[in-house]
DNA sequence: GAATCGCTTCAAACCGCTTTGGATAGCCAA
DNA sequence: TTGGCTATCCAAAGCGGTTTGAAGCGATTC
């Protein structure tokens, strides 16, 4: 059942039927009601492909996922972000297109997405310092929103981000207030912008109390369980081990916990741990009582906000750059306590 | 730059240019070379929307993701599957469309995907016993491949699955061989088909040694860390606790580990643990030496295979039902050992 | 020399919708 | 009566490709 058939059945022109269904004013309300009823009765759904060609809009948004060579983006955090964004897209009749491509094809993918007209806009994931994708997308004229920020970008751009610096600064201050002085940082990969900001927050808080950086207490790597385990284990083996560890994710925090317990220490008494909690749906930080003290910010909500922003940017290309900074909450759990007496 | 412009520039008709670029035989090879060169020079990329309308194919595949009310599908396993499938799609110039919809809209989503012509086929995730989606998709005539199987389906359908029954049977036998008799099962939700099969494998292995089921050693729930923790904790608190636990995922296994260590027991000595390892890229079961003894099967590879199967089914609608059963490996790690002397 | 054939190429229809630019009819003021 | 509005509706032209049916043309065949 297509538009022409429906129009014939109704004894109307395709023009009128199309207008009736799309809410245009130049159609008699009685006629409109008749058309709508007939459309429902005959289970008419306009062909998306035809709409797209006729309107010149893709009604789709792209997420390009480079396959890991340097950094695995297909991680639990990504999944939750996608879920949040996807809610918004389907609510607005947009398709979400995921392109999984080799690292080196990423630029070509954006260009082809634009020139072949597959999408109306894209979301940039996991931005780095001076991320090359920002000038690229500006150049090819594809609307975009960045999930995160990219320090060093020349001009303003659209982004949704958590205040990572402040979050880690507060977490560090919280530990300092508990008397901790030697605080380890198990960070993400520090060519990622968010990881840089977290480190900055951590260092700022330490510096404010006159504590300088100690490289042996600072680790940067993939945020896996194993990586968190090994980094924590190494720190605990130091002559002067930390009394607290700040972890960049729930998963690396679980690795840290394994290392601490493996060393026969008790979390919250001998060693305090704070994690960053993305509030993942299938990896809750406890149910009623949080397992870990954490800086919490829902990445799913960030996905919703970024998607909404992108749709807004697509609809209003000339509105200025949109920006949204989210604050993380500091959630007190069972993994922190006063620094043990020396 | 579109086809007509390019044709004009070349002094050819759009027909010939189209055919030259699409490899049709009825075009002079010299002309074809000239066309291809011009297309490259002018950076011509055919408009996807036009191709789709003209050919009547969507060149896209859908993955419908119901938002959690009963079961959260947006989990790490799902993310890796998607990554694998996505590789295949982009290699074949197909788009991967993710539809995130409320549970109750799932059926409507499939119907609209079909009638609006957004996709050429779909992949069904997380099938249940007598899954309603299978007859539904057959009814509306949308090609599909199931990731997993659905016990009770009336007619054969396309699927890619791991031999879950055999995997858990072997894992259980392995534990039995080590002298374990009281073996706990921390399973996924048992309205999911894979969880049912795993339970069957576990029970079959026990029954073969004359051991009957003990409900207090069998848990079924979401595969989260917390759920694994609580289930294991409860089992360990029994008057006659298990000496081994079989977990349905890496994540619930991590919860089990926490419970075991929290009880002051040593894994691999006091309690053995076997998990099912989906070989997730960001949640490796150790690096060189596996942390957990595990039944391993790459869900990413399953995603690749399912995607390939779907593209094949789309291209050859009349080929019979395709099926692919993968066997899991049994990987020996550090989490298992002989049953402790009573 | 005419008919046939294979190789190339093209004009035009078509995919299913949107949108522009009328056309028609009813109604009211002049 | 007539011109001007307004309210409705429609024919036709796109959107940018693919595909059908036909035609031009030199070579071959009879």
Q: Which of A50, A109, A226 sits opposite B53 (nearest CB)?
A: A50
The C1' atom of D9 and the CA atom of A204 lie apart, in whole Å, by 70
DSSP B81-141: HHHHHHHHHHHTT-EEEEEEEEGGGHHHHHHHHHHTT--SEEEE-S-BTT-THHHHHHHHT
Taking an 8 Å cut-off on Cβ atoms, the answer to whether B49 and A46 are in contact is no
- State the helix-helix crossing angle for A299-315 and A76-91, rounded to 10 degrees: 40
Per residue in A232-279, pLDDT (tens digit) is: 999 999 999 999 999 999 989 999 998 998 899 999 999 999 999 999
Which residue positions in chain A have pLDDT lower than 50?
none
What's residue B77's pLDDT? 86
CATH class of A60-162+299-326: alpha beta
- Sign of the four-CA dihedral A328, A331, A335, A341: positive
Q: What whole-number distance in Å separates Cα of residue A177 and Cα of residue B210?
A: 60
Taking an 8 Å cut-off on Cβ atoms, the answer to whether B68 and A95 are in contact is no
Taking an 8 Å cut-off on Cβ atoms, the answer to whether B87 and A67 are in contact is yes
What's residue A71's pLDDT? 61
Chain A hits for B75, CB-CB cut-off 8 Å, are 76, 79, 281-282
Q: Please indicate whether the domains covering A60-162+299-326 and A164-297 agree at the CATH topology level.
A: yes
Per residue in A6-29, pLDDT (tens digit) is: 999 999 999 999 999 999 999 999
Q: Nearest-CA distance from B84 to chain A in Å?
A: 8
> CA distances (Å), A321 to each of A144, A145, A159, A312, in order?
10, 9, 8, 11
> CA distances (Å), A98 to each of A192, A289, B85, B100, B281, in order?
21, 36, 10, 13, 18
CATH topology of domain B3-55: 434 Repressor (Amino-terminal Domain) (1.10.260)
What residue ranges do the domains of chain B occupy? 3-55, 60-162+299-326, 164-297
Q: Tell me what the pLDDT averaged over chain A comes to.
A: 94
What's residue B298's pLDDT? 96
Q: Give the closest residue to B142 by CA, choosing from B115, B160, B161.
A: B115
What's residue B177's pLDDT? 98
What's residue A70's pLDDT? 58
Residue A264 CB closer than 7 angstroms to strand D? no
Nucleotide nearest to B15 (CA to C1'): C10
The C1' atom of D2 and the CA atom of B213 lie apart, in whole Å, by 98
Asked if B17 and B10 count as a contact pair (C-beta separation under 8 A), the reply is yes
Q: Nearest-CA distance from A152 to chain B in Å?
A: 29
Instruction: Using DSSP bridges, classify how beta strands B323-326 and B159-162 pair: parallel, antiparallel or unpaired.
Output: parallel
Taking an 8 Å cut-off on Cβ atoms, the answer to whether A76 and B282 are in contact is yes
Nucleotide nearest to B56 (CA to C1'): C15
Taking an 8 Å cut-off on Cβ atoms, the answer to whether A283 and B97 are in contact is no
Per residue in A33-50, pLDDT (tens digit) is: 999 999 999 999 999 999
What's residue A7's pLDDT? 95
Per residue in B164-200, pLDDT (tens digit) is: 999 999 999 999 999 999 999 999 999 999 999 999 9
Best residue in B2, B39, B49, B285 for a mutation probing chain A (most A CBs within 10 Å)? B49
Nucleotides of C under 7 A from a protein CB: 7-12, 14-21
Nucleotide nearest to A16 (CA to C1'): D9
Chain A hits for B53, CB-CB cut-off 8 Å, are 47, 49-50, 52-53
Nucleotides of D under 7 A from a protein CB: 7-12, 14-21
> Which chain B residue shows the shortest CA-CA distance from A261?
B261
Q: What whole-number distance in Å separates Cα of residue A164 and Cα of residue A297?
A: 10
Structure-token match 């053995």, residue found: B272
Taking an 8 Å cut-off on Cβ atoms, the answer to whether A223 and B96 are in contact is no
Output the pTM of the full model: 0.94
For B208, the token pair is 């073969």
The percentage of residues in chain B with a pLDDT greater than 90, rounded to a whole number, is: 87
Which residue positions in chain B have pLDDT lower than 50?
none
Which homologous superfamily does the CATH classification assign to the domain defined by A164-297?
Response regulator (3.40.50.2300)
Question: B239: buried, middle or exposed (CB in 10 Å: 19+, 13-18, 0-12)?
Answer: exposed
Chain B hits for A251, CB-CB cut-off 8 Å, are 282-283
Asked if A196 and A150 count as a contact pair (C-beta separation under 8 A), the reply is no
> Which chain A residue shows the shortest CA-CA distance from B290?
A226
Q: What whole-number distance in Å separates Cα of residue B229 and Cα of residue B234?
A: 9
Nucleotide nearest to B116 (CA to C1'): C16
């Amino acid at each position: 059942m297509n538009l022409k058939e429906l129009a014939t059945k109704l004894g109307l022109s395709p023009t009128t039927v199309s207008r009736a269904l799309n809410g245009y004013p130049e159609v008699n309300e009685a006629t409109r009601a008749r058309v709508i009823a007939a459309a429902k009765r005959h289970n008419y759904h306009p062909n998306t492909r035809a709409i797209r060609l006729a309107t010149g809009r893709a009604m789709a948004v792209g997420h390009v996922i480079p396959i890991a060579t340097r950094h695995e983006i297909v991680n639990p955090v990504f999944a939750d972000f996608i879920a949040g964004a996807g809610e918004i897209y389907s609510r607005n009749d947009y398709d979400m297109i995921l392109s999984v491509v080799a690292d080196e094809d990423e630029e070509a993918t954006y260009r082809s997405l634009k020139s072949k007209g597959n999408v109306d806009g894209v979301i940039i994931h996991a931005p780095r310092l001076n991320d090359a994708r920002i000038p690229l997308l500006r150049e090819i004229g594809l609307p975009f929103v960045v999930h995160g920020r990219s320090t060093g970008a020349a001009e303003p751009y659209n982004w949704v981000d958590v205040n990572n610096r402040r979050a880690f600064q507060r977490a560090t201050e919280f530990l300092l207030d508990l008397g901790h002085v030697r605080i380890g940082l198990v960070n993400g990969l520090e060519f990622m912008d968010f990881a840089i900001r977290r480190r900055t927050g951590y260092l700022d808080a330490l510096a404010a109390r006159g504590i300088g950086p100690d490289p042996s207490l600072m680790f940067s790597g993939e945020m896996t369980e194993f990586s968190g385990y090994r980094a924590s284990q190494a720190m605990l083996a130091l002559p002067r081990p930390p009394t607290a560890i700040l972890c960049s994710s729930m998963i690396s925090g679980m690795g840290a916990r394994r290392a601490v317990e493996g060393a026969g220490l008790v979390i919250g008494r001998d060693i305090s741990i704070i994690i960053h909690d993305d509030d993942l749906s299938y990896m809750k930080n406890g149910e009623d009582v949080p397992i870990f003290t954490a800086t919490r910010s829902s990445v799913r909500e960030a996905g919703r906000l970024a998607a909404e922003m992108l749709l807004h940017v697509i609809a209003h290309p000339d509105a200025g750059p949109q920006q949204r900074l989210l604050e993380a909450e500091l959630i007190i759990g069972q993994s922190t306590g006063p620094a043990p007496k020396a």
